[in-house]
Amino acid sequence: MQLRKATLNDLDTVMNILRDGRNQLAEQGIDQWQGDYPNEQHIKEDIQHGWAYLVESDDEQTVGALAIVDAPDHSYDELDGQWLLDTQQYQVIHRVAIHSNHAGKGYASKLFVSVIDYIKNNRKDIKSLRIDTHEHNKIMQHLITKHGFKKVGELHGVYRPEEESYVYELVTQPENGEN
């Protein structure tokens, strides 16, 4: 599996994957992504900033999408909680989706391993990774904590007025060599 930066030529592919993700969440009774987020404008901005990625299988099929957003991420300005590391040297994982045609094959876990390993080994300037998910998205919560993220707080109404999100952080470059 590999991650490839998305281009504007990939916009329809990314949108198709995210629509499929929205449908998967709805089928599970999860209210996440059921409004106008994420929309085409979000994805165009991700692509233009170099934040949008496609997830490709070893046989070069596109199986998913995500964004790795540079700090500062103002979604977190109203965090009800406390970061593990007080830094502006972080990145945020947003808009993660594996297409339902490829679900159950471990791609989401491989995606997390790839991103974390890349940041730890190649981006020593990035001190932590942050991510959030809907309070009812138990699958994503499990995936996030499985890969070492710690819950640091909650967001109230950032994406939609009544929506609660749980926020997580993973320190990628411990200070003073601590782990």
pLDDT digits (tens, 9 = 90+) for 133-144: 999 999 999 999
The secondary element (H helix, E strand) that includes residue 42 is: helix 40-49
pLDDT at 162: 83
* Predicted confidence band of residue 96 (pLDDT cuts 50, 70, 90): very high
Q: From the centroid of its chain, how far is CA 75?
A: 13
Helix/strand/coil for 29: coil
User: With contact defined as beta carbons under 8 Å apart, do 90 and 126 qualify?
Assistant: yes
**Strand 52-56 to strand 128-134: parallel, antiparallel, or no bridges (unpaired)?**
unpaired
Query: What share of the chain has pLDDT > 90, as a percent?
Result: 84
Give the pLDDT confidence of 12-55 residue by residue, as tens digits. 999 999 999 999 999 999 989 988 889 999 999 999 999 999 99
Give the pLDDT confidence of 23-34 residue by residue, as tens digits. 999 999 998 998
pLDDT at 179: 46
* CATH numbers and ranges of domains, the chain: 2-177 (3.40.630.30)
**Strand 164-171 to strand 128-134: parallel, antiparallel, or no bridges (unpaired)?**
antiparallel
Give the pLDDT confidence of 100-135 residue by residue, as tens digits. 999 999 999 999 999 999 999 999 999 999 999 999
Rounded Cα distance between 7 and 47, Å, is 6
Rounded Cα distance between 69 and 62, Å, is 20
